[in-house]
A and B are shown apart, each in its own frame.
Chain A
């Protein structure tokens, strides 16, 4: 079979599978997380600690456990997923500016192009009979990556993107990124364990051209799913593309949090979703489903 017809056959098979035809994966699907099959490896983010849990940095203390949800609402019942009944749900605590994170931990086989695609939606907890459009501060995602142990110039790289929905009661509706070097804290005696909290509100920069109005809908209990796609090259450790729904964004100005390689994170490929609340009510971030693919 020629290379062209092999590619045509692959595309036809993807197109005929309703679970995958909504994605545009690179040749190798590394994981496809449909939350009708359980949590699919998405778990709570735990801060590093040594001795006892009090040694964890304060930013990690309020993080909560992801859950499987049918997206049920008090007056409309179960909304269901993009496909099937269940979605992955992240819920903050009901305290303004708190965040929560869901994480999936992998390593990579080849330092080359990867693509992360997912469908997402978000809402505040429907504690008031009001639009509540400014109550979710942000939803976002990040990768936590480190070069292979034989890399010539190893580093740990953490690309972050968040959709800043609102802040201080004002809609913002724009994509932001974080770059630079974090402040590393010793944990315990500092010999084996260090930590840094990378989701503070400081350090976010607007992605040039990154303003985007999404479909919030008309009350807090109506949701619509959105497509998001990030292309990243694990060899150059640079983003090569970013899309959300009908928009493709210029990532030439995008950069990541970067720091020297750490002694026990070689080939790390972590994926994480997060959300922050802008009000004293819970922010809910729903994901259904996630496709991670690579060119190898």
Chain B
């Protein structure tokens, strides 16, 4: 049987300011993940790091270890790869005052 593989769009055209995160996504069937962040518009201000987070229940979160710097220019990409994540996944960040980015975040699982 072919290995299961799936792409999930976990943030589409969302404008992030302050504390921001993708919606929780369950991926317990997968053993590896790649997450891309694409800037859909030029960002405002300095872009911080965003952190892959995992959770025992989809409600309480802890950093997994993988991270990326949010992209600044329109259509610029950032990526992180990780595995051994259990079930729940999200990408979380905190933008400084005045900073803003509009993102497309895609999760690629297999």
User: A-side interface residues toward B, CB under 8 Å?
Assistant: 38-39, 44, 46, 52-54, 56, 61, 64-65, 67-70, 72-74, 86, 89, 91, 93, 125-127, 282
Contacts and interface: CB of A to CB of B under 8 A. Distances in A.
B57 interface: yes
A38 B9 contact: no
Contacts, number: 54
A52 B74 CA distance: 13
A65 B57 CA distance: 18
Interface residues of B, number: 20
Contacts of B6: 38-39, 68
A224 B8 CA distance: 27
**Which secondary structure characterizes the binding site on chain B?**
loop
6 contacts: A39-B6, A52-B40, A65-B8, A65-B9, A68-B27, A89-B26
A56 B12 CA distance: 11
A48 to B, nearest CB: 14
B26 A68 contact: yes
Nearest to A89: B26
A39 B6 CA distance: 8
Nearest to B60: A74
B83 interface: no
B40 A53 contact: yes
Contacts of A64: 10, 23
Interface-central residue, A44, A56, A69, A282, by most chain B CB under 10 Å: A69
Contact of A38 (B4, B12, B87): B4
Contacts of B96: none
